[in-house]
Amino acid sequence: MVVMSRLPFTQGIEMEVQVVDEKGRLLRGAFLLQVWKRLMENALRNLQKAVAAAPPEVAGKLLGVSFKEKERRGKRLPYVAVSYKTPQGVAEIDVFGPDPNVSQITWILELVTPPCESMGELEWWIKTLYNVAYASLPSGCFLISIGFNPIEEEYRSGVTFGDHYHIGGMRKQDIPAIYNMIRAFIPHMIALTANSPFIKESVTGVVRVQGKGKITILGKDCIRDIRLRYNTNQVGPADKDHYIPYLESFDRKYFGKVVMREPPDDRYVDVFPFTDYGTIEVRVFDAQLSVARRLALVALLQALALKAVKTTGKGGRVPNVSSSVLIENREKAILYALLGKFFPDRRLQGRDAIYNASPSGVPYTKLFEAVKGMFEYIREEVEELGFQEYLKPFFISVYGSKRLEPPCSPADYLLYIYDSSGGNMNAVVHSLIEITRKYCTGPGDPVVEAFGEAEVETVEKPSSAVRVSMRAETAASMVAAGEKIPFVVEIGGEGVAQATLIAKVVLTERDEAVQTAVKKVTLSKGKPVKITSSQLPLTIPLKAFQGAKACRLRFTLKCDGVDTCEAETKQFKAIATPSIKITAENPPKMLVKGEKRELKVRVESKTPEFKEEHQIIVLAEKPEKTTTLLSKKTSLPAALSVPLPSSAEGEYTLRIQVSYMGEPIAEHRTPPIKVEKRVEPAKPAKPAVIAEKTKAEAATVKAEKPAAPPVTAPRRTEDALTREEKPKVKVVTKLTLPEPAKPMEATPQTSARTPSPPQPPIKTPSKASISKSPSVTRPSKPTSPSKQLAQPKTRAKRRVAERRKSAVGVRVSKAVDVSHVSLKPRVSVSGDVSTSIVKWGETCKAVFEVRNLNPEVPGPFLVEVMLEGEDERLLDCRELTVKKSEKLAYNVKAGRDVKGEQFTLSCRVLYDEAVLAECKTRSVRVVSLPAKDAIKVVGVECPSNVVASSTLIVKLKVNVKGVVNPVKLTISALTDTTAVREYVVGEGEHILPLPVKAWKEEGRHKLKVSLNVGGAKLYNKELTVHTLPPFPVTVTPINLDAKTPCAGSQLKYHFKIINAVKQQVEVKGEVHLLTLEGKREAKKKVDVKLKPRGEAELHGKIEVPPWLTGKYAYLQATLRAKTQKEGCNLTELSPIITITPPPSPLVKVTLANLPQILKEKEKVKLTVNVKKKVAAPIQVNLAATTLTSTQRILSEKIKQQEKTITITWKAPETQNSTIIQLKTEITVEGKQLPPETVQAPTQKIKLIKKP
């Protein structure tokens, strides 16, 4: 039934509609003539059929429907006309026909409503004319309702599509005031209605949609209104010197002189107040996407017109906005719609200053802010006319919703569709065809349907007791946590009242308060109150967020518990978390007991905004105790020397902690440091006396010399060899040598595949030195007693010299101290993927190559390979010995290994915990499967019997597999009415409910159920349903108090059960909370008795289980109603709800005494603290996971609100050094809580294999 809301002025609309083929192309040539012939032949019959069922208000005015031809520009054109009663008399109106006034390329279908006196009458005509057009179109032709055809290659004069609004029925003396009021807000209304962003099958810039949290639509360099951008002949003029003027009187001559156009061409402007029908024609709007948006425009125009009449009736004056300001704002609205910059008219003062700033004094900087001000300006008229519901499509564009970040004009919504389709214009055209069909013939608006209803904010709510104004400003440009934010708030008021000032520091990107302060203030007439930061300190809390963020101050004044007014400051940058770099220079791995040594520590700040002193604490942590080595408060940067403890044997780790304002902000741990007892070397036995012998005896010594022990010294460089001196060597007798002492330090690593070079000549000691040496390893080659060879400078000369040596004598070697020599490993790593685009289900191959640039150190190296996408995952961790190079290959399957829309792989090589090299592949984009392959309808649930006129619940079982991003599914069902619901779903099985009104008549009926994706029909089925006689008990739909309840909260609901018979009715049943997966998660019983002709309003609460975070759900009431003689089943649904994470974690788990490095089989004592907010018992599972195994550390059922558990964990065995990930899992009633509800550590620990 159409509700007839009376309008203060008559309203008519001329709607220009595109007639296109299946590809969205405008009709031309012979095909155009054929289509128009069929279209007009059918239109008369279809309109006559439609008006036969017109509501009384329309039927009483409609005198007849006829077909006629008119000559226009030398052509005989057909029209369908109606004779209609208007307040000015009977008028004949061409309601259906072509409009070739300006276009010689194609014909525009023009649908014209008669002048209507109510919203319901106007709504009926819009829907009826569109329905007639659809019923009359030949097969293969479609309608699109936007301002410019997206397929057109260029702008052509006249080939644009707009809606022209005629306001009439006013007194002639009121026309200038109404015209002036509409003129003042033309840029605002263009920004609200622009919807032609496409040309040449594309956009004019770059579209970016951000989907984290609320959806934000950004279109860099995207023109929002191409129709107005290039159309300068039928609208405008876009020139500040010739723009439509402010009218002091009803003077057409003056008007024509300013716009530089003679009658009748002076009507081709934005607003024309001199029509032949006595109306004001507004010509500037694009053809709108829906009936709802056309009615919203009517509500806006009517309220502005009423405001003008009331203002002048009280002796006031409509704001005279300068043409230069209007042109600047008009241009920004055409280019950027609601995101355009707003230029104020600073000439406006007093009451008219509301055009430039909010009632609380905050200047408008963007057009969407100015549009909010326009709504506030006409709020009284909107409420008087009862038009709040009609303005909802505009409210979501300006205020946004739970899912949408404002602003979002219709053009921005079309950019969103373009981005969602991947830039596929065919998909966009199909969406436009479907949007026009659905929303120009029925209820609803596509933007509201896509993102939910608007969250309307109130700019100012004056209290009946006191009227106040408030202004706030800040001088801050950058503020660090802990600093006072400078501000001044001035409050002026009339009357005297005690008020409460609520001050908030608001994070702009989330519109979330990070700090709140409250102060009581006393308001007095004529005495402004000034509040500063010294009276009401506001700061940024430490660690409130990461990085530099935009913030602002918001002040709300409450009088008698009512929000009276609000003011905001400009934005400023804030930084809440300091960034600290801690460097420990070469911490030792081992100390000798009693050794005195210091560790150099440097602490630097990357955030100089934090100017207070930092507290630096250095702790030595042992398993049994923790000792503080240093505690110092200092400014940064700071260089410190920390004495290392070595008084007792054992192992400890240094923890360097930096705090700011008492809060820990950074921490660094060194590798474990061992303290060992000093080991003294054993003294060798004294050698026998050496006597000189003959050469023959010396040769005997040479033959009997023992085998050389392993080399203990590293290879020396040639320069080192040349510096060796060659001493004289005596010919000695046979020598008995002692066993060599074991070296005290480990031999440095050398390459197993590199042969040891020849040992360089070593100085031969004298007799005395031989007898005292503890490190004799083998006798040397004998040398000539007669010659002393000089040290050669080249390798060739050295070889010649060695050949000349005498064969007699003994060469004795000392053990060389090599503890100062370090062989530095050098490696490189490179890698890439086989493709940059992979379809869901396909495999992408990645190959990394690790090259050893210093073969002297072949490893082993620790290689970590990470898979980085929506979630970071360790793909491989292994020890690798690399002689020359090694290749590592991995297969990553999209949909199995990665779930996100893109991913990369990274590889890093570590040696002794230091990163030697790392590499990252190029990004790989994952593409969804086509909709026909990804979406399958498994079945349909539908009752076989349903009570007439009750709610019939149809449930589609849909399996979605192979999509990267959630897809939008449109389900429709047709009975006497059409029901449509849209769902945005991801991968998995879903059961999607659709409530539809059952048939009014009894008998067997065919229920048509269909599923569309992006305008393409994927599923269509007919079901047979038997309609039972009407039952005297009805149930209203379930209403909820929240559309996005938090997990773990109580969801309030209410609905009515109405008894229409004169006897008592008993109703029993249940209200279930169901997810779209079809699972029943919670329920409440219903048991009520209804009095004869009585009704009961049921209110209840149902707990939202915490494990449903991030899921979609709904309530379903399944009831059984019984009278004394009969009974029936009744079902009703609630709207779909999105379950959001709780404001704070429901479970917090903390671990203490957790090391960063563990040896296999090492035992560690861990302290686990668990705090929970949920009432039910929880199961806490803590597991240590590697790539090959999972070890459960803890499994505990906890009933208390807080519990501390101490456990001993033995590290697992390992073949190679690897990484352990500690993961915490919390379950309630056997169901795992999602990460958003749990605060638990996921820490990596290096596991080292014992030598």
Q: pLDDT tens across 1148-1190, in order?
A: 988 887 787 888 888 888 888 899 888 889 898 888 887 667 8
Percent of the chain topping pLDDT 90: 29
User: What mean pLDDT is reported for the chain?
Assistant: 82
Tokens of 462: 């004056």
Q: pLDDT confidence of 743, banded at 50, 70, 90?
A: very low
| Residue 483 to residue 411: CA distance in whole angstroms | 42
| Residue 43 to residue 63: CA distance in whole angstroms | 18
Least confident interval from 446-450, 521-525, 799-803: 799-803
Q: pLDDT confidence of 105, banded at 50, 70, 90?
A: low
User: What SS3 string covers 241-280?
Assistant: CCCCCCCCCCCHHHHHHHHCCCCCHHHCCCEECCCCCCCE
pLDDT digits (tens, 9 = 90+) for 600-644: 999 998 888 888 888 999 988 887 778 888 888 998 899 999 998
Q: Residue 30 above 90 pLDDT?
A: no
Q: pLDDT confidence of 2, banded at 50, 70, 90?
A: very low
Q: What pLDDT was estimated at residue 321?
A: 94
Q: Residue 776 above 70 pLDDT?
A: no
73-87 burial, b at 16+ Cβ within 10 Å, e below that, comes to eeeebbbbbbebebe
- CATH C-level class of 1147-1248: mainly beta
Q: What pLDDT was estimated at residue 298?
A: 96
Q: Residue 339 above 90 pLDDT?
A: yes
For the packed helices 392-399 and 367-377, what is the interaxial angle rounded to 10 degrees?
140
Q: What pLDDT was estimated at residue 810?
A: 42
- Is CATH 3.40.190.100 the right assignment for the domain spanning 580-676? no
Q: Averaging pLDDT over each range in 350-354, 510-514, 1026-1030, which range is the top one?
A: 1026-1030
Q: What pLDDT was estimated at residue 798?
A: 53
Q: What is the Cβ-side half-sphere exposure of residue 614, based on CA atoms within 13 angstroms?
A: 29
The residue-averaged pLDDT of 702-718 equals: 43
The residue-averaged pLDDT of 1201-1225 equals: 83
Nearest to 241, CA basis, from 176, 322, 330, 347 = 322
Nearest to 405, CA basis, from 236, 214, 223 = 214
Least confident interval from 454-468, 473-487, 770-784: 770-784
| Residue 1098 to residue 1084: CA distance in whole angstroms | 11
DSSP letters spanning 69-89: EEEETTEEEEEEEEEEEETTE
Nearest to 748, CA basis, from 821, 681, 679 = 821
Q: pLDDT confidence of 770, banded at 50, 70, 90?
A: very low
The residue-averaged pLDDT of 575-588 equals: 89
Q: Residue 370 above 80 pLDDT?
A: yes
Q: Where are the domains of the chain?
A: 467-575, 580-676, 728-737+762-815, 827-927, 934-958+969-1138, 1147-1248
Least confident interval from 141-145, 640-644, 1014-1018, 1227-1231: 1014-1018
Of 444 and 468, the structure prediction assigns the larger pLDDT to: 444
User: What SS3 string covers 505-569?
Assistant: EEECCCCEEEEEEEEEEEEEECECEEEECCCCCCCCCCCCCCCEEEEEEEEEEEECCEEEEEEEC
| Residue 282 to residue 164: CA distance in whole angstroms | 6
Q: What pLDDT was estimated at residue 679?
A: 66
Q: pLDDT confidence of 799, banded at 50, 70, 90?
A: low
615-647 burial, b at 16+ Cβ within 10 Å, e below that, comes to bbbbbbbeeeeeeebbeeeeebebebebebbbe
Q: Residue 491 above 90 pLDDT?
A: no
Q: Residue 429 above 90 pLDDT?
A: yes
Q: Residue 464 above 60 pLDDT?
A: no
Q: What pLDDT was estimated at residue 494?
A: 64
Q: Residue 15 above 90 pLDDT?
A: yes
C-alpha dihedral sign at 1166, 1167, 1171, 1176 = positive
Q: pLDDT confidence of 1107, banded at 50, 70, 90?
A: confident
Q: Residue 340 above 90 pLDDT?
A: yes
| Residue 672 to residue 649: CA distance in whole angstroms | 13
Q: What pLDDT was estimated at residue 163?
A: 96
C-alpha dihedral sign at 890, 892, 893, 897 = positive
pLDDT digits (tens, 9 = 90+) for 220-237: 889 999 999 988 888 988
Q: Which CATH code is given to the segment(s) 827-927?
A: 2.60.40.10
Percent of the chain topping pLDDT 70: 85
Q: Residue 795 above 60 pLDDT?
A: no
pTM: 0.45
Q: Residue 794 above 80 pLDDT?
A: no
Neighbours of 525 (CB within 10 A): 11
- Is CATH 3.40.50.180 the right assignment for the domain spanning 934-958+969-1138? no
C-alpha dihedral sign at 529, 534, 535, 538 = positive
Q: What pLDDT was estimated at residue 1233?
A: 87
pLDDT digits (tens, 9 = 90+) for 879-906: 888 988 999 999 999 888 888 888 999 9
Q: Distances in Å between the alpha carbon of 207 and those of 34, 211, 331, 420, 751? A: 39, 13, 20, 10, 57
Q: pLDDT confidence of 525, banded at 50, 70, 90?
A: low
pLDDT digits (tens, 9 = 90+) for 1189-1211: 788 888 888 888 888 888 888 88
| Residue 240 to residue 263: CA distance in whole angstroms | 21
Cα angle 502-504-506, degrees, rounded to a multiple of 5: 155
| Residue 314 to residue 57: CA distance in whole angstroms | 34
pLDDT digits (tens, 9 = 90+) for 914-965: 888 989 998 898 888 888 888 888 888 888 888 888 888 999 899 988 888 8
| Residue 956 to residue 938: CA distance in whole angstroms | 8
Nearest to 690, CA basis, from 787, 788, 770 = 770
| Residue 320 to residue 352: CA distance in whole angstroms | 9
Neighbours of 466 (CB within 10 A): 20
Decide: 197 and 380 in contact? Cβ < 8 Å: no
Query: Which CATH superfamily does the domain covering 467-575 fall into?
Result: Immunoglobulins (2.60.40.10)
Q: Distances in Å between the alpha carbon of 822 and those of 676, 713, 825, 880, 1206? A: 22, 12, 9, 21, 43
Q: What pLDDT was estimated at residue 684?
A: 54
Tokens of 13: 């609309």
Q: Residue 996 above 70 pLDDT?
A: yes
- Give CA torsion, residues 237, 243, 245, 246, to 10 deg: 120
Q: pLDDT confidence of 856, banded at 50, 70, 90?
A: confident
The helix (run of H) or strand (run of E) holding residue 97 is strand 89-98
**Bridge-based pairing state of the strands 673-676 and 638-643:** unpaired
Q: What pLDDT was estimated at residue 468?
A: 67
CA terminus-to-terminus distance, the chain: 85
Nearest to 190, CA basis, from 156, 221, 227, 219 = 227
